[in-house]
Amino acid sequence: MMKILSRYIAGQIISSLVTVMIAVIGVYLVVDFIEKIDDFLEARVAMDKAAMYFAYKVPLIISQVLPVAILLAILVTFGLMAKHNEIVALQSSGVSHLVLLKPALIIGLVGSLLMFVLAEVAVPLAMVKANSIWLGQVKGVNRVVTRQNDIWIKGPGRVLHIQYYHPETRTAFGLTVNLFDKNFVLVRRIDAKSARFHDGKWILQDVMDQFPGKDEKNFKVRLRDNLDIDLGITLDDLKEVVKPTEEMSYAELRRAIKRIETEGYDTTAYRVDLYGKTAFPFVCLILSLMGVGIAGSGRIRDGLAASVTYGIGVAFLYWTFFSFSMSLGYGAILPPVVAAWLANGVFSILAVILLLNLL
């Protein structure tokens, strides 16, 4: 009897989960398509390539919406059961809350495991291919990222090399700019210790500027404290070129941190993201516990509307708290491991309190 009941509840939750996932992924892709279709048409990219680009983004979308979808599926399932008095009928037959809600916890655990697989395997591989299409064929930017802190960018008449880019301070370190004429002859080389973007231009500091002399055989060298120059790239361009942490597996990000630390740069932001990679997948299990507690407490007897409202509200609170704590980590206000796990700890306590009220 209990196994049949568990399979029935699990089937209802999975059915709701599939419906929610299809709806959310569909809306996400439609909005993304509307925003970017003009870029694809302007670049004259074939529609099959455009379709591949959006298909490659699906694993990332799944990893972002799966926790919320699981929470909504649990609340919708039990909300509809409560509205139709199914839960009351089962409880009057001696079925406890824990028996009713066990399938939801198992689905939450499976969701967390799936999040780990997506973050470590599917998302990094898929986003590399998606960005290759977007940058190479749509934006016309040739990028080579051999390491997280070793970036090459090829543009019209120039090749840029950046040893390390710090996204939080928006500063590029170890910048080298090679400028060429139409015959691809080097006409100028600029080396700078650091560079920051301001008012549409890059401000280079501790600059060594090399350019041909009158005889065009020997290069002259001019040292400058700073130099304002248009490098043909903006912060948005550099953000697209720099390999983001979501494209990196845990092991790859850890290796990148070691390389960056070896060169003497700050790795606080990357350490926060590293711990975040281990913390965030647990959100499926935690939100499942929250959903179980809310459903068991009888707060969603009004059915679908109340279930969706509670689900979106809880998910919004978690995401806001998680983002806030991560920001505190990026700012070095909290240790990276605390910043990444704080939201999980707080919401786990709230979930346990809700579950204890069911006993």
Same domain, 277 and 230: no
> 134 or 53: which carries more pLDDT confidence?
53
Check: CB of residue 276 under 8 Å from CB of residue 340. Answer: yes
Q: Average pLDDT for residues 93-121, to the nearest whole number?
A: 83
Same domain, 115 and 255: yes
Q: Please name the helix (run of DSSP H) or strand (run of DSSP E) that holds residue 194, with its range, or none.
A: strand 186-198
Residues 6+ positions from 250 with CB-CB distance below 8 Å: 119, 120, 274, 277, 278
The strand pairing partners of 226, in sequence order, are: 205
Give the torsion sign (CA, 160, 192, 166, 200). Answer: negative
Q: What gap in Å lies between CA 150 and CA 174, rounded to an integer? A: 10
Please check the confidence at residue 310 and state whether its pLDDT lies above 90: no
pLDDT of residue 47: 85
Q: Is 308 exposed, middle or buried (CB count within 10 Å of its CB: 0-12, 13-18, 19+)?
A: middle
User: Hey, is 229 helix, strand or coil?
Assistant: strand
Please check the confidence at residue 227 and state whether its pLDDT lies above 80: yes
Enumerate the H helices of the chain as residue ranges. 2-42, 47-56, 58-83, 86-92, 97-117, 123-131, 235-241, 250-262, 268-279, 283-296, 304-330, 336-356
Type of residue numbered 216: E
pLDDT of residue 216: 60
Please check the confidence at residue 255 and state whether its pLDDT lies above 50: yes
Same domain, 114 and 173: no
Closest of 207, 204, 293, 196 to residue 238, by C-alpha: 196
Q: Average pLDDT for residues 9-27, to the nearest whole number?
A: 89
Distances from the Cα of 42 to the Cαs of 37, 95, 139, 198, in angstroms?
9, 61, 10, 29
Same domain, 197 and 299: no
Among the candidates 242, 270, 298, a domain finishes at 242
pTM score: 0.73
Q: Does residue 144 belong to any structural domain of this protein? A: no
Among the candidates 202, 222, 242, a domain finishes at 242
Same domain, 14 and 117: yes
Please enumerate, as own/partner, the contacts of 220-223 that have beta carbons within 8 Å and a separation of 24 or more: none
pLDDT of residue 147: 46
Q: What gap in Å lies between CA 129 and CA 44, rounded to an integer? A: 19
Tokens linked to 260: 């960056």
pLDDT of residue 341: 95
pLDDT of residue 333: 92
Same domain, 38 and 131: yes
Type of residue numbered 356: L
Same domain, 24 and 58: yes
Q: Does residue 296 belong to any structural domain of this protein? A: yes
What's the number of domains the chain is made of?
2
Q: What gap in Å lies between CA 116 and CA 282, rounded to an integer? A: 9
> 265 or 27: which carries more pLDDT confidence?
27
Same domain, 157 and 255: no
Among the candidates 224, 242, 260, a domain finishes at 242
Q: Does residue 111 belong to any structural domain of this protein? A: yes
Check: CB of residue 300 under 8 Å from CB of residue 294. Answer: yes
Vertex 355, ends 350 and 359: CA angle to 5°?
A: 145
- pLDDT band at residue 146 under the 50/70/90 scheme: very low
Q: Does residue 342 belong to any structural domain of this protein? A: yes
What is the domain extent for residue 273?
2-139+251-356
Same domain, 113 and 171: no
Residue for token pair 């910043």 = 339
Other CB atoms within a 10 A radius of the CB of residue 239 amount to 12
For all residues of the chain together, what is the average pLDDT? Answer: 82
Same domain, 11 and 131: yes
Q: What gap in Å lies between CA 208 and CA 205, rounded to an integer? A: 9
Q: Average pLDDT for residues 26-34, to the nearest whole number?
A: 90
Type of residue numbered 63: S
Same domain, 309 and 338: yes
Same domain, 135 and 163: no
Give the torsion sign (CA, 319, 320, 325, 331). Answer: positive
> 183 or 107: which carries more pLDDT confidence?
107
Tens of pLDDT along 234-246? 776 676 666 677 7
